[in-house]
Amino acid sequence: MLALQPLIDALRDGRVRARELIEQCLQRIADPSGEGSAAFLHVFAAEARAHADSIDRLRAARASVPPFAGIPVSVKDLFDVAGLTTGAGSKALYTLPPAPRDAEVVERLRAAGMIVLGRTNMTEFAYSGLGVNPHFGTPRNPFDRATGRIPGGSSSGAAVSVTDEMAAAALGTDTGGSARIPAAMTGIVGFKPTAARVSRRGVLPLSTTLDSVGWLAPTVACCALLDAVLAGGPKSGELELPAPFPARGLRLLVPESYVLDDLDDHVAATFERSLAALSRAGAVLLPAPLPELERLPEIHAKGGFSAAESYTEYHDLIAAQGDLIDPRVAVRILKGREQTAADYVRLISARADLIEKVSRRSAAVDALVMPTVPIVAPALRELESDAAYFRANALALRNTMIANFLDRCAISIPAHRGGDAPVGLMLMGEHGLDRKLLAIARSVESLLSPAR
């Protein structure tokens, strides 16, 4: 895959031209034997070529260029791009007027010199962890593509754009795991920052309480470089990476229940092997019950914040154009009408209580560790019935949504062996300690995937 730092170095040193790199990505997107047509909903080929040519001319003239100049990225169909309607993977939204300006995070990508190749496919309105889209197709997972496995969602096209080298990195979102789930299922890194660190201006909402911007890339270092841009921007043109946090003495809380329930055998074995590797390296594993997490199913029995807030956002659209909306998405949004004002107030109270109690338990550790997703990516054909679909969706979201509910940062790192079905290891940090979490993740990644 196209790791950022080697590409930055090659572009800066003249070993690769921006136009050459963009053409390679566009060829992969257009390849009829590939997944480009399912991964991308819009491709900005002419604009990308023009941007690349301007960067190459500036470099040839030895003019100053931004640090990421020429790096190709994709953007989820949830972010405003000036002059285009933000569709959120839905046919129902394409009657709306175009966005007057880029989302703030898209502006930051461009200001850093990155070239936006296009907008990627997603679960409609970002409301599922599986990545299935009946309107525009579902990009197939790079693992066992012949079987036709899901890529995970909701940032499905984002993940496949990175795995298939159609982009070096992808901008996605994460309301309950939408960046980390597809990263885990396709074998790359997905990062969810503390929500308030990264602007959501120009990002179509699903749940204003839980939404955060997220991103996907080949390595933890790539995600850390993107964090420097999206959470504030590199200073003086410098690209800063947090030094790896020493593994020896690293204190990791391992929840003993809930997050370990109903693991499939491959995920369970991979998780145990990962913990053993961390222990051998000197990390201190602290298994402990977290009974507070057992309350989450009851708290979300009526759909939680996502149902209440998405219903506020989309109920008029469903009433007017419900026939254009995926019924499996619409039924989850419509759960919001079951909630009363008292239910919503209780949600707010339950969240505050859980944040306080879990924070007390985790205060003495550096991070929590758990499987990102309890199952490997199922085949599309296994999700034909609604019962199978909603069962898989609930499992896919169960562990990842904890970080959103607790308003924390979290990252998924590939933990599987080469050739095996992808499995992610999730590290969850404290609220606001994102750079510390990225430093820990760099160390953990080096133990689990030393070649990355």
DSSP 137-173: --PPPSTTTTTTB---SSSHHHHHHHHTTS-SEEEEE
pLDDT, tens digit, for every residue of 321-332?
999 999 999 999
Residue 235 has pLDDT above 60, yes or no: no
* Span 46-72, average pLDDT: 97
CA angle, 211 then 212 then 214, to 5°? 135
- 74 part of the active site: no
* Span 300-315, average pLDDT: 97
- Residue 132: which H helix or E strand, with range? none
pLDDT, tens digit, for every residue of 377-427?
999 999 999 999 999 999 999 999 999 999 999 999 999 999 999 999 999
Q: At 220, is the pLDDT very low, low, confident or very high (cuts 50, 70, 90)?
A: very high
Q: Whole-angstrom Cα distance, residue 82 to residue 110?
A: 12
* Span 216-245, average pLDDT: 84
Predicted local confidence at residue 94, as pLDDT: 87
In degrees and rounded to multiples of 5, residue 3 shows phi and psi of -65, 145
Q: Whole-angstrom Cα distance, residue 310 to residue 139?
A: 25
- 345, 346, 359, 193: which is closest to 292 by C-alpha? 359
First CA to last CA distance, the chain: 10
Predicted local confidence at residue 95, as pLDDT: 85
Residue 238 has pLDDT above 90, yes or no: no
Q: At 237, is the pLDDT very low, low, confident or very high (cuts 50, 70, 90)?
A: very low
DSSP 8-state class, residue 377: P
Task: Indicate the pTM of the whole model.
Answer: 0.97
Cβ-count burial of 90 within 10 angstroms (0-12 exposed, 13-18 middle, 19+ buried)? buried
Catalytic residue among 74, 154, 310, 449: 154
Do 134 and 115 contact (CB within 8 A), yes or no? no
pLDDT, tens digit, for every residue of 28-55?
999 999 999 999 999 999 999 999 999 9
What are the CA-CA distances from residue 88 to residues 52, 68, 79, 201 (Å)? 27, 27, 8, 15
pLDDT, tens digit, for every residue of 179-211?
999 999 999 999 999 999 999 999 999 999 999
Do 166 and 138 contact (CB within 8 A), yes or no? no
Q: At 90, is the pLDDT very low, low, confident or very high (cuts 50, 70, 90)?
A: very high
Share of the chain above pLDDT 70, in %: 98
Quick one: tokens of 110?
């461009």
Q: At 236, is the pLDDT very low, low, confident or very high (cuts 50, 70, 90)?
A: very low
Candidate CATH numbers 1.10.3720.10, 3.90.1300.10, 3.40.710.10, 3.10.130.10; the one for domain 4-237: 3.90.1300.10
What are the CA-CA distances from residue 374 to residues 86, 196, 229, 363, 423 (Å)? 32, 28, 32, 26, 9
Catalytic residue among 128, 155, 161, 178: 178
Quick one: tokens of 124?
């409609």
Q: Whole-angstrom Cα distance, residue 11 to residue 421?
A: 33
- 221, 270, 200: which is closest to 422 by C-alpha? 270
Predicted local confidence at residue 452, as pLDDT: 57
Catalytic residue among 76, 192, 302, 335: 76
- 156 part of the active site: no
Assess whether the previous peptide bond of 154 is cis (omega < 30° from 0): yes
Q: At 8, is the pLDDT very low, low, confident or very high (cuts 50, 70, 90)?
A: very high
Q: Whole-angstrom Cα distance, residue 414 to residue 427?
A: 11
* Span 246-253, average pLDDT: 97
Residue 256 has pLDDT above 90, yes or no: yes
Quick one: tokens of 83?
């002059």
DSSP 8-state class, residue 254: E
